[in-house]
Each structure stands twice: as structure tokens, then as C-alpha cells.
Chain A
């Protein structure tokens, strides 16, 4: 069996000032999977705890769906959404730090729709999301922003890794 080192950092963005969105563009197609790790706090703006939204390849159509569950320390919730205009890969809270790790497996396969799965920790919940983007296009751009027109605070970090299979 061949073996080769992988889990390669593709790009890292650490915000120097608050921002309403960040974009990973021109993502290389030389890997098998992508892993996105985010960590940080929301810009102050009035006690909020919102989802981190993702759009792929600038697709704003109703081509996303997702299923999730979370626990908040006392109860559990599951829900889902169909024909959405975006998906969810993280959280943003303006009073505490949030982190997430999202796996985009086989992101460049042009024969399959893209399913991606995220583990999310926010100050208020722990959650898991599975998302579907109904497109056979290879993922070349990842656009991230907080829901409800909120902003990422300075210091929010976004790292994109590539994993190449043998």
C-alpha cells in the first residue's frame, strides 16, 4: 500500500478587523476531501447567537438542504430544511467563542452531489449538521458569513485543509 503525507493547509485567514464575510476562492482540485476549521467570536452588536452560513461556488439558488440536531444542556432538538439557499457549517456568538470542523468529502467529484458534515460547538449548544448541495460541480469557492447580518470579530480564524487520498 502506498502512503503519503497529507492533511495540508491550503489557506488560513485570521481577521485583523471585524468582517461580514470571508471567502476561500480558487480552491485547488488536487485533494480528495476538504476540512474547514473555524474558531472565534462575533463582533459586538447586541447579544446574539447565530449560524455560520455557507454558500458554495457563489450558488444562491435553492439548492441546499440540511438535517441537524443539537443539545443545549437540558434538551435535544432535531430539525431540517429543504430547498434552502444556503447551508450551515458553524456558529457565531458575540459573547463567547464558537468552533466548528466541517468535512467536505469528495468535493471535486463531478458525478455526485456534495454532502458535507459539521460538528459545531457554540457557547449555548453542541450540534452536528449534515448538509447537501445539489450540484455535481466541483467545489472551488467557499463563502462564509454569520446569519442575520452579523459580523465576525477581529481574531476569528478560518483554516482550510486538503486531504489527498492515495
Chain B
């Protein structure tokens, strides 16, 4: 039996030519979607598997839903420019010089991370119905440049003037280590500049507490910065803007205060105490934040 050689069979040649011709005009088959994975607050990766059969793809494109943001490359493809804290699915298509395949089926849903930032919440203490004599933030992360304590406060002291609250650092209760503060304050009639070498209770002035004699439901407000709290080469300086008003019941008080802790230790804990050792009342709230450098 004679065996036809490939080169002798024109029908085979034609078929081959047709096949080659069709292939050269063909677009790639649709890739198979893989797993989508969150990378950070603005990007994700999308895996896929290229089709085995059909025309060769020259590139692969992943597209997000929502947003129609795209990324190209080989598996896994990175898609950037996503919005933080947002859920996405992705499809992938293959492309060559003849065009693009249809989109793959949708990937699993991912959610981008919360936005990274330079101002981060660390912890909050809100006083319950029984009141509290101290507020403590311990194990403060060392990963920030500055700290800020914000909140509202009210004490149970019966007095005819505002209380202040002191910040003690690293459980240091030696009064002499909180040597000085300087303040500029006013009560609605007089502006005063004053300072003191030592408080009733150890600590730097950091917050204001409204006396129980004040108007019900009324709290002082404060914002206190603790600067360069990790620096072991210098003493620690605080600054505070604080104030309260109770509609003329004898309580109007606003101050700008600076304080000093004479220690080169990095601050790892803060204890807030009423200067006259009274209790903070219910709903007083102290929130600690870290500011990156």
C-alpha cells in the first residue's frame, strides 16, 4: 500500500492552510477566572488560567466591578487605584492582535483594606455609671511620632471653680518630675497668665474637669498633644487647649496650657487623674490617637 506523503496531499494542505488562516484571524478563548486577593487599601491581585485551546493571547486584562479599573500582565494581575473599604469583583479577558475574548466569569468578592493614614485611633476609655478615679492607657504602641488625647470630662468635686486633670506618664507619681506648666487662660472677664512648679497630684495639666456644681449634662472639652513621645534624648512636652462653659453658672473657663515631664523615657502609659483626687463622672470620655511622623 502506498503511503501518501503529507506534502503530496493537496486536501490536507488546503485544510492545513485553512486552519492556519482561521487561526491567524482568531481571537483567544476566554480565560478561566481564579482567586482575587486584597493587597492593601487601593489594590488587589486577580489570578486566572489561560485557555489551552485556541489562538494565543498576547495579553490579559483584569477589570474591576465597580469602577472598571484595569490591570494587565500575567497571573496574578495587579489592579490598582481601588477605593479603600470597598467591595469588588473582577473579570479577566485575553487579547491578541485580532481582538479580545469575552470576559471571564466574575471572581470572588474582595474588600479593600481601610485607608492607611497618619492619624490613627489607638484606644478609648468612657467612664461608666460608677465613675472612675483614674483613666489609664497602657501598652501604647511605639510606632507613632506624636500622641493626642481628645475628649470630654466632668468630675464629682463640689467646688466653685473648675478642676483640672493631670497626665502621669509611665506610672511616675513623683511630683518633682512634673516640674512646671505654663498657662494662658480666661474666665469670661479676666485673662491670666500663670504657672506652677508642682500640682496637688503628680502629673502635667492635660485636661479640664467640670465640677459637679456645674450645669447638669455639661462637660469640659480638651485636646492634648504629647509631642515626640518616643524620643529618649529629651524631656516630654505637652500642650493642651481646654475649656468649659455652663451658661453663666459661674463656669466659663478656657486655657492654653503647656506641661513638662522631666524624663527622657519613651512614654508607654498614660494615667489621667483629677488634680484634687476626685472622680471622673459618667460619660467622661478619653480617646488616645497616634500621629505618624
Q: Give the B-binding residues of A (Cβ under 8 A).
A: 1-8, 32-33, 65-69, 71, 76-80, 82-83, 103, 105-106, 109, 111-113, 115-117, 119, 128-132, 134, 136, 163-166
CA A32 – CA B150 in complex, angstroms? 10
Contact of B245 among A67, A78, A103, A166 (CB under 8 A): A67
Instruction: Evaluate contact between A1 and B152: CB separation under 8 angstroms.
Output: no
Question: How long is the Cα–Cα vector from A117 to B188 in the complex, in angstroms?
Answer: 14
A1-B140, A67-B253, A136-B217 known; A105 vs B152 contact (CB < 8 Å): yes
- Choose the segment among B3-11, B169-177, B283-291 that binds chain A (4+ C-beta atoms closer than 8 Å): B283-291
The reply to whether A106 and B123 form a contact with Cβ atoms under 8 Å apart is no
Q: Is the CB of A3 within 8 A of B121?
A: yes
Question: Which residues in chain B, 186-216, are within 8 Å of chain A measured between CB atoms?
Answer: 186-191, 215
Is B71 located at the chain interface by the 8 A CB criterion?
Answer: no
Q: Top 4 closest A-B pairs, CB basis?
A: A130-B243, A67-B252, A80-B188, A5-B117
Determine the main DSSP class of A at the interface with B. Answer: strand
Q: Using an 8 Å CB-CB cutoff, how does the interface string of B87-124 with A read, 1 for contact, 0 for none?
A: 00000000000000000000000000011111111111
Residues of B within 8 A of A66 (CB): 245, 252
Contact A1-B123, Cβ < 8 Å, known A33-B150, A67-B252: yes
Task: Flag if B120 contacts A78 (CB, 8 Å).
Answer: no
| B interface: dominant SS | strand
**Cross-chain contact B283 with A4 (CB below 8 angstroms):** no
Inter-subunit contact A128/B254 (CB<8 Å)? yes
Chain B residues with CB below 8 A from A117, complex form: 221-223, 241-243, 254
Q: Which residue of B lies closest to A130 (CB)?
A: B243
Point out the residues of chain A lying under 8 angstroms from B123, CB to CB.
Answer: 1-2, 166
Interface membership of chain B positions 219-247, coded 1 if the CB is closer than 8 angstroms to chain A and 0 otherwise: 11111000000000000000001111111
Query: Once the chains are docked, how many angstroms separate the CA of A110 from the CA of B282?
Result: 13
B191 touches A115 (CB 8 A): no
Which chain B residues lie closer than 8 Å to A136 at the CB level? 217
**B215 x A1 contact (CB < 8 A):** no
Q: What would 20 A/B residue contacts be, using CB atoms closer than 8 Å?
A: A1-B139, A1-B140, A2-B123, A3-B141, A5-B114, A6-B120, A7-B119, A67-B186, A67-B245, A68-B254, A82-B247, A103-B221, A103-B241, A109-B285, A111-B217, A113-B217, A130-B252, A163-B121, A165-B121, A166-B288
Q: What residues of A have a CB within 8 angstroms of the CB of B133 in the complex?
A: none
For B, the interface residue count at a CB cutoff of 8 angstroms equals 53
A115 CA to B23 CA, complexed, in Å: 75
Q: Report how far A68 CA is from B253 CA in the complex, Å.
A: 8
Asked whether, in the complex, the Cβ of B124 is within 8 Å of the Cβ of A105, the reply is: no
Docked complex Cα distance between A113 and B287 (Å): 18
Q: Known contacts A78-B188, A80-B188, A105-B150: does B244 contact A164 (CB below 8 Å)? A: no
CB neighbours (8 Å) of A78 from chain B are 186-191
Q: Answer whether A68 and B186 are a contact pair too, CB < 8 Å, given A80-B248, A111-B283, A117-B242.
A: yes
Scoring B residues 111 to 155 as 1 if CB is less than 8 Å from chain A, else 0, what string do you get? 000111111111110000000000001011100000000111000
Q: B220's contact among A65, A115, A119, A166, by CB below 8 Å, is which?
A: A115
Known A7-B117, A65-B247: A115·B218 in contact at CB below 8 Å: yes
A132 to B216 alpha-carbon distance, docked (Å):
12
| Residue in B217, B221, B282, B290 whose beta carbon sits within 8 Å of that of A130 in the complex | B221
Q: How far is the CB of B249 from chain A (nearest CB, A)?
A: 9
